Chains A and B, each alone.
Chain A
Amino acid sequence: MENHNESHIVPFKTYGIILAVLIVLTLLSVAVTQIDLASLTVFTAILIAAVKSGFVLVYFMHLKFDNKLLKALVGAVFILIALVMFVTFLDYNYR
């Protein structure tokens, strides 16, 4: 059980860039509603939201600097949620 107590100083500029990316993605998720994507509408919204939460996890929550086990666990959660959505849309897309 080794401890990971090293601190990681992330440059302020990196946080600024990530914030800008998040704002752009938010605007994109609003803009994309103007296009009729039919059954892919929800998928697109969720995809953009997933990318945004990925940025938050990796940079703001320091997942980038965590050990492989934690990365794997968080990755597994993303896969699980994606599968749950896939199964849900087996209803909506084929109704």
Chain B
Amino acid sequence: MSNHESETTTHVSFREEKGKYKGIFAWIFSTDHKRIGLLYLYAIVTFFLVGVSLGAAMKLELIAPGKTIMNPEAYNAIFTLHGVIMIFLVVVPGLPAVFGNFFLPIMIGAKDVAFPKLNLMSWWVYIAGAIIALSALFMGGGPPDTGWTFYAPYSFKTNTNMLPAVIGAFVLGFSSILTGINFIVTIHRMRAPGMTWFRLPLFPWTLYGTAWIQILATPIVGITLLMIVGERLFHIGFFDPALGGDPILYQHLFWIYSHPAVYIMILPAMGAISEIIPTFANKSIFGYKAIVISTLAIAFVGYFVWGHHMFTSGMSGTALYTFSFLTFLVAIPSAIKVFNWVGTLHKASIQLEPPFFWAASFLFVFMIGGLSGLALGALATNVHLHDTAFVVAHFHFIVFGGVGFAFMGAIHYWFPKIWGRMYNTRVATTGWILFFIGFTTLYLPMFFLGIDGMPRRYYDYVDRFHGPNIISTVGSWVLITGLIIILVNLIKGAKSGPKAGKNPWGGRTLEWEVDSPPTLENFEEIPVIERSPYDYR
């Protein structure tokens, strides 16, 4: 932030600003939060496309019983890579890294995050972690085949390349922690004058809740992954029963992080939806404080529900009942949010634009994902559904349906602010329709397959599962068609779309008061906040 030329060129956007470096170096060495947000965006979208390709390959394999396009070993490796890439490289950094970095400082009236250099370092650590994790592909031994959960004892017994994947995930955790620290300090220390805690927009609120989870939960998985390294290299005996270890301890440690990690993924998604809905409803958000409190409640209670991933592992009965009860408890704040979003839409004058379509369909798929989660949170039904296709369907409805749809909504919502141009809304709507139809066609049959007993992570199945698997695979093709239309439309819009004004949607939060795209330091003068962020009517 050392370029004082900005005093004379206040309307030069952050993209055109001349800094110390040129070309690609002006991006990869930039400490500007907006450039860093876009660096994350480009990296995440690239990894997402790799993950989608792997997912499509799995669906193609499952179009018919028996071997279709790959052998069982390749299938095991592909579902592991799909999981590792999608979880650790796409959805965990996801909305906070992209839209959090880009919009948090602007939405709270600041010029940048609290520690810009640390922010750049987070991105570099993320890239380093990604390279280490993906190097597992190119070494002797082949890619890991444990699934993204790296469950012991298999993870320290398999001959595949476990170490790069595990160490990569460990390094990626540091990126997450650094971003979390940066966001907490930024929100505590850098809010504009007059921006009290209850004038903070809801997206920053969810980033705040998320940041706490990032810094408190991530070290636990980091240590756990190092324990796997110790187990593989030095045979210490943390998890190996032959050495006096306990494999269930691994599951506890892994899920103590990885369940809150679901909230790292979904909370900012809920934040983005809480921004989109009032803007397109042209109406104040219903129950602002209830949404804030439910955000913090999800972040807190979400720490204590990890055991519902382990109902068939052999845990004590006391733990089973406790985790089941707590799982039902965490559904309450999520439901409060849904009621508030629906309440906001009640008697609203709704603008039917692409970001709203994504937000509305988010509500639909998130409800299906959430309610199917209750079937998994109940002890009796969990035993039947555990490790079946039902779990895969539930998880994708929450994470792909929840986080993915919110990400798509967010990019269509903030697109004119980021690029200063507008995409073709008709094409965007067509892309959304195809994506939505493809998504439901792909995942809904998996609920029925799971109830009927089809296990997850199998490359083959018995004949009676054939029909729904064909439907599901066709759904993946429709989804990918929609995705291609969406991406081409956005890329075209960013390059040559019509210029967008400061506030094309009529939003009320601070980002809609700055230039599109914003200038290097966002504001000519730090604003003084004298109103709620959602004072529509």
Contact = CB atoms under 8 A, between A and B. Distances in A.
B263 to A, nearest CB: 14
A80 interface: yes
Interface of B: 189, 191, 216, 248, 252, 256, 300, 303-304, 307, 314-319, 322-323, 326
B319 A91 contact: yes
Given A88-B256, A95-B315, 12 more contacts: A80-B300, A80-B303, A81-B216, A87-B307, A87-B319, A87-B323, A90-B319, A90-B322, A91-B248, A91-B318, A92-B316, A95-B316
Interface in A79-95: 80-81, 83-84, 87-88, 90-95
Given A1-B189, A77-B216, A84 B256 contact: yes
Main secondary structure of the interface of B (DSSP, over half): helix
Contact of A84 (B191, B304, B323): B304
B221 to A, nearest CB: 13
A91 B252 contact: yes
Contact of B304 (A77, A83, A93, A95): A83
A91 B315 contact: yes
Contact of A88 (B191, B252, B314): B252
A84 B194 CA distance: 37
A78 to B, nearest CB: 11
Interface centre among B256, B300, B316 (most CB of A within 10 A): B316
B252 to A, nearest CB: 6
B322 A87 contact: yes
5 contacts: A83-B303, A90-B318, A90-B319, A90-B322, A92-B316
Interface of chain A, main secondary structure: helix
Nearest to A85: B256
A77 B300 CA distance: 11
A47 B252 CA distance: 20
Interface residues of A, number: 14
A3 to B, nearest CB: 9
Contacts of B189: 1
Contacts of A92: 316
A22 B24 CA distance: 50
A47 B189 CA distance: 33
Q: Which of B191, B248, B318, B326 has the most CB of A within 10 A?
A: B318
B303 A91 contact: no
B248 A87 contact: no
Interface string A47-80: 0000000000000000000000000000001001
B316 A90 contact: yes
A22 to B, nearest CB: 21
Nearest to A1: B189
Contact of B303 (A1, A84, A93): A84
Nearest to B252: A88
A87 B322 CA distance: 8
Contacts of A95: 314-316
A80 B316 contact: no
B248 to A, nearest CB: 7
Given A1-B189, A84-B303, A84-B304, A91 B316 contact: yes
Contact of B316 (A1, A77, A84, A94): A94
Contacts of A90: 316, 318-319, 322
Given A1-B189, A80-B216, A87 B304 contact: yes
A93 B316 CA distance: 8
A91 B256 CA distance: 13
Nearest to B318: A94
Contacts of B303: 80, 83-84
B317 A94 contact: yes
B216 A91 contact: no
Contacts of A87: 304, 307, 319, 322-323, 326
Contacts of B322: 87, 90
A91 to B, nearest CB: 4
Contacts of A93: 316, 318
Nearest to B323: A87
A84 B314 CA distance: 19
What are the 10 closest A-B residue pairs judged by CB atoms, nearest first?
A: A94-B316, A91-B319, A94-B318, A95-B316, A90-B319, A91-B315, A91-B316, A90-B318, A90-B322, A87-B304
Contacts of B256: 84, 88
A81 B248 CA distance: 19
B304 A91 contact: no
Contacts of A94: 316-319
A94 B317 CA distance: 7
Which of A83, A87, A88, A93 counts the most chain B CB atoms within 10 A?
A: A87
Contacts of A80: 216, 300, 303
